[in-house]
A and B are shown apart, each in its own frame.
Chain A
Amino acid sequence: GAGVSQSPRYKVAKRGQDVALRCDPISGHVSLFWYQQALGQGPEFLTYFQNEAQLDKSGLPSDRFFAERPEGSVSTLKIQRTQQEDSAVYLCASSLGAAGGRGASTDTQYFGPGTRLTVL
């Protein structure tokens, strides 16, 4: 289908390892979001891209977290020196227009299936 895809779907890392999580948004979508979802909680905002520009990274929990979207399509979330508290599902979402615009067609976010990260 033409939905948002993420890879890998599952990742097990030893504490201290670096990991890279990939997101392929819906083609043509301007906005891309990364969220972290802990068990039993709602998704927590991490960062936002408008095309290739990272306009908001205020939700990244530490400087071990880094995200990029160099060509305005595929995005990668990198976590360095993983810790056990990083264990969560990492969700990527894309939307057609720029965030903050009016109208459902620009604000609706389409989520990928997520990457379940387990840090041992």
Chain B
Amino acid sequence: RKEVEQDPGPFNVPEGATVAFNCTYSNSASQSFFWYRQDCRKEPKLLMSVYSSGNEDGRFTAQLNRASQYISLLIRDSKLSDSATYLCVVNMYNFNKFYFGSGTKLNVKP
């Protein structure tokens, strides 16, 4: 079983739509959680960190559910520029490894 699992998508949504992705992790000792964005043939870039019960940054909201071991990413009012692959990342404090999911592909269409 992989440490981090994501629905690969693609999620095809119209501009202005609200879309949500989930990510599950297998190790209950995980402590740090992140969402990264990766454009085609580019490097991953940090979108949001999630440390406690959740974060909000403009149109983006990340939620953490420790009991069920999942994090979610909600994107409101989708823009064409949001089209990318969204990577869920998990880390345990005092450990060096960061585990990436395979990513969820989002296509926002006009």
* C-alpha spacing A112/B18, complex, angstroms: 31
* C-alpha spacing A88/B102, complex, angstroms: 14
* C-alpha spacing A31/B95, complex, angstroms: 12
Interface size on B, residues (CB 8 A): 25
Q: How many A-B residue pairs have CB under 8 A?
A: 63
A111 located at the interface, meaning its Cβ lies under 8 Å from any Cβ of chain B in the complex: yes
Min C-beta distance of B43 to chain A, whole Å: 4
Q: Which of B91, B97, B102 is in CB contact (< 8 Å) with A42? A: B102
Tell me if A100 and B92 are in contact (CB < 8 A).
yes
Q: Which of B8, B43, B45, B100 is in CB contact (< 8 Å) with A114? A: B43
Chain B residue numbers with a CB within 8 Å of A44 are 100
Q: Which of B93, B98, B101 is in CB contact (< 8 Å) with A33? A: B98
Min C-beta distance of A31 to chain B, whole Å: 8
User: For chain A residues 1-49, which have a beta carbon within 8 Å of chain B?
Assistant: 31, 33, 35, 40-45, 48
Q: Which residues of B does A touch, CB under 8 Å?
A: 4, 8, 32, 34, 42-46, 49, 51, 87, 91-103
Apart from A42-B4, A113-B42, 5 more pairs, CB < 8 Å: A35-B100, A42-B87, A43-B100, A59-B97, A107-B34
